[in-house]
């Protein structure tokens, strides 16, 4: 089944404790993105990747890091999480042209206390 | 700047009634337009998309949307709403920008369905 898999689904952590949210897709998509969803703000892009070893900042990159060492994986790293990073996070992937839209993972709900 | 506006934050309809969710966009070129649905606790599912051709597009679950270039709109419609349609709906605009497939979302419209 074609899908984007994120782990974990739920995560509660403390301020400053480094964490990684994993994302993997099995569709051989070139593009991958991370979004965060906050009430009233819709989805905002954190980082994106056009292919292996090619990443760039989205609209809200502060406090996040990403890497793309393999085509299928695109982990999101929070080196020192803060409470304002409490949010619902989505990973998504897409084929190389804009017309296909994105396939989304099921989301990771992160709480930073 | 590229943007998407969904003017209605919440909409409530009765089951069996018709539905129209509004979406307006600002985009420099011919956009790709999408509607996604998010059921509670779930990820986003693509309902339909437009990128060329017939301006009335059909999607899954009985939804359709009409692209109106003159109004910069891409409104979502359904002739008869079912209770299972209660969800949050997101309009998005995207396309190749600087070589990248960028997707910008509206803030969403939460749909409640009364029996």
pLDDT digits (tens, 9 = 90+) for B20-35: 999 999 877 777 899 9
Q: Residue B113: which of B42, B39, B47 has the closest Cα?
A: B39
Encode chain A (113 residues) as per-residue pLDDT tens digits: 889 999 999 999 999 999 999 999 999 999 999 999 998 888 999 999 988 999 989 889 999 999 999 999 999 999 999 999 999 999 999 886 655 678 999 999 999 99
- The Cα of A99 is separated from the nearest Cα of chain B by a number of Å equal to 6
- Residues of A with Cβ-Cβ distance to B39 under 8 angstroms: none
- Rounded Cα gap, residues A102 and B83, in angstroms: 26
Out of B43, B95, B106, the one facing A105 most closely (by C-beta) is: B43
Return the pLDDT at B75: 98
Whether residue A90 lies within 8 A of chain B, CB to CB, comes out as: yes
Return the pLDDT at A70: 96
- Residues of B with Cβ-Cβ distance to A48 under 8 angstroms: 100, 102
pLDDT (mean) for B95-113: 79
What are the backbone dihedrals phi and psi of residue B84, each rounded to the nearest 5 degrees, phi first? -75, -5
Return the pLDDT at B2: 77
Contact B43 A44 (CB under 8 A): no
Q: How many CA atoms lie within 13 A of A42 on its CB side?
A: 25
pLDDT at B51 over 70: yes
pLDDT at B98 over 70: no
pLDDT at B96 over 70: no
Contact B43 A104 (CB under 8 A): yes
Measured between CA atoms, the residue of chain B closest to residue A105 is B43
Top residue of B5, B9, B41, B44 to mutate, by most chain A CBs within 10 Å, is B44
Contact B94 A106 (CB under 8 A): no
Return the pLDDT at A47: 93
pLDDT digits (tens, 9 = 90+) for B9-19: 999 999 999 99
Contact B42 A107 (CB under 8 A): yes
Whether residue B43 lies within 8 A of chain A, CB to CB, comes out as: yes
In chain B, the percentage of residues whose pLDDT exceeds 90 is 68
Average pLDDT, chain B: 90
String of DSSP letters for chain B: --EEE---SEEEEETTS-EEE--EEE-SSPPEEEEEEE-TT--EEEEEEESSS-SEEE-GGG-EEEEEGGGTEEEEEESS--GGG-EEEEEEEEEEETTEEEEEE---EEEEEE-
Q: How confident is the model at residue B53 (pLDDT cuts 50, 70, 90)?
A: confident
């Amino acid at each position: 089944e074609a899908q984007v898999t994120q782990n974990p689904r739920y995560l509660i952590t403390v301020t400053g404790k480094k964490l990684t949210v994993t994302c993997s897709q099995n569709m051989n998509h070139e593009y991958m993105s991370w979004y965060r969803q906050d009430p009233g703000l819709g989805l905002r892009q954190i980082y994106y990747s056009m292919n292996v070893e090619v990443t760039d900042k989205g609209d809200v990159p502060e406090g996040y890091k990403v890497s793309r060492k393999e085509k299928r994986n695109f982990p999101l790293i929070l080196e020192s999480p803060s409470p304002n990073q409490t949010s619902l996070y989505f990973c998504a992937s897409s084929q190389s042209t804009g017309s296909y839209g994105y396939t989304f993972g099921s989301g990771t709900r992160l709480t930073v206390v | 700047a590229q943007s998407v506006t969904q003017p209605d934050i919440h909409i409530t309809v009765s089951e069996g009634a018709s539905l129209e969710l509004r979406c307006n966009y600002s985009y420099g070129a011919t956009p790709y337009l999408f509607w996604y649905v998010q059921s509670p606790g779930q990820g986003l599912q693509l309902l339909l998309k437009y990128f060329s051709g017939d301006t009335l597009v059909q999607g899954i679950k009985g939804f359709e949307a009409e692209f109106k270039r003159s109004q910069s709109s891409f409104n979502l419609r359904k002739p008869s709403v079912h209770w299972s349609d209660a969800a949050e709906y997101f309009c998005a605009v995207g396309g190749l920008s600087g070589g990248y497939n960028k997707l910008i979302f509206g803030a969403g419209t939460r749909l409640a369905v009364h029996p």
